[in-house]
Chain A
Amino acid sequence: CESRRWRYGGALHAREVGASGARAKVSLSAFALLFSELVQHCQSCVFLVAELQVHLAALGRQVGAHVLDALVASEKGAQRETKVLGALLLVKGAMWKAFGKEANKLEQANDDACTFYIIGRQPLINTYISVPKEDSRFNCAGFTAGIVEAMLTHSGFPAKVTARWHKDTTLMIKFEEAVIA
């Protein structure tokens, strides 16, 4: 898993900031095939579908940790986010753009001030993947959940992020109490 993590982290970084600061491009097919291989590798490490999602999230977290600085640097303004909302908007805007499109929707749960939802299609992750009916609860967006979790946690807002199917893909972000207080 180690080598795969570095290879992937490198590719995403290359897409963001090229040598001269211009955005370099990575082929979509290459990304899709690499991600597919990642999922298959995880499948061979685990026994249950639920564990598969956890494993993907763990890999996503490693990527997120490395990508945070690159994303912040490429944003105009390049300031560290100190507000929760700011960090969430960074995730919604910059990170999703790295995957090709602006997200979608950012919502706050009615009953719980610590919970937020990001709703929208995963333009690259799930485009080519058809989950077989036996595993219909599994969502490859667990990987994206890991990235988001790492980005928030390393910005100083500890959180837990999970992915679920609910009108496209929804990422549920649950901050720790200390963050919202």
Chain B
Amino acid sequence: MAIFSVYVVNKAGGLIYQLDSYAPRAEAEKTFSYPLDLLLKLHDERVLVAFGQRDGIRVGHAVLAINGMDVNGKYTADGKEVLEYLGNPANYPVSIRFGRPRLTSNEKLMLASMFHSLFAIGSQLSPEQGSSGIEMLETDTFKLHCFQTLTGIKFVVLADPRQAGIDSLLRKIYEIYSDFALKNPFYSLEMPIRCELFDQNLKLALEVAEKAGTFGPGS
């Protein structure tokens, strides 16, 4: 999947739509016996690996599941605290799944508003008047493309660095927004977008862009 996610941010900086479409991330499941040779610590309501990187389990990975049952923040599925559970030798041998933690929706909201602020700072720092703001943010693992419309709505797409045709994809998403969200009498402006037709058409557009993109300019 070359396109990782789509975010739509409204005029005030609030996230009104979000879609993730990346392939599942690398996860590692291993069986351990007491004592655990990894150092775990509690951070932000999650149990993370602090030390003891090996075999696909890296520092920063979170505990995703214990004995096959998904972990709920810092509590196991049964409601016990994870760190306490793993500190008790009676519970071993235990099978733990580690992986990169997914963003919660609250975190996505915060990140979207932070990006909104950075975007505003970017336009003001510009030496010329009427700057378009941040259009692209590049890292070694992904590229973030942003398109701001005349009305202040921002469409943000995170994609693979090699993916081409994201500009036309952003315009297409704008078109889909103006068709299926703005022409829908049940949608109020600046509110979270909950329109089925918008979801369906957006997913279709992403598929088309992925197929066409890596071979050259998108459709």
Contact = CB atoms under 8 A, between A and B. Distances in A.
B136 interface: no
Interface size class for chain B? 10 to 19
B194 A32 contact: no
Interface string B149-188: 0000000000000000000000000000001101111100
Interface stretch (A70-78, A85-93, A115-123, A125-133): A125-133
A29 B194 contact: no
A60 B194 CA distance: 28
B197 interface: yes
B196 to A, nearest CB: 5
Of B179, B184, B195, B198, most buried by chain A (CB within 10 Å of CB) is B184
B186 A32 contact: no
Contact of B184 (A29, A36, A38, A135): A36
A92 to B, nearest CB: 26
A33 interface: yes
A132 B183 contact: no
Q: Is the interface of A mostly helix, strand, loop or mixed?
A: helix
Interface string A36-71: 111110010000000000000000000000000000
Contacts of B179: 32, 128
Contacts of B182: 33, 36
Interface string B190-210: 000011111000000000000
A162 B182 CA distance: 27
Interface size class for chain A? 10 to 19
Interface in A68-117: none
Nearest to A130: B195
Contacts of B195: 130
Contact of B194 (A33, A129, A132): A132
Given A128-B197, A130-B197, A39 B185 contact: yes
Contacts of A38: 185
A43 B194 contact: no
A33 B183 CA distance: 5
Nearest to B179: A128
Contacts of A33: 182-183
A128 B180 CA distance: 5
Contacts of A131: 186
A43 B187 CA distance: 12
A33 B197 CA distance: 16
Nearest to B178: A29
A36 B194 contact: no
Of B180, B185, B194, B195, most buried by chain A (CB within 10 Å of CB) is B185
A159 to B, nearest CB: 27
A66 B197 CA distance: 32
A135 B196 CA distance: 13
A40 B185 contact: yes
Contacts of B180: 128, 130
Contacts of A29: 183
11 contacts: A32-B179, A32-B183, A36-B183, A36-B184, A36-B185, A39-B185, A128-B179, A128-B183, A129-B186, A130-B180, A132-B194
Interface of A: 29, 32-33, 35-40, 43, 128-132, 135, 140
Closest 10 A/B residue pairs (Cβ): A39-B185, A128-B183, A130-B195, A32-B183, A36-B185, A130-B197, A130-B196, A40-B185, A36-B183, A132-B186
Given A36-B183, A36-B185, A128-B180, 17 more contacts: A32-B179, A32-B183, A33-B183, A35-B185, A36-B182, A36-B184, A43-B185, A128-B184, A129-B183, A129-B184, A129-B186, A130-B180, A130-B186, A130-B196, A130-B197, A132-B194, A135-B186
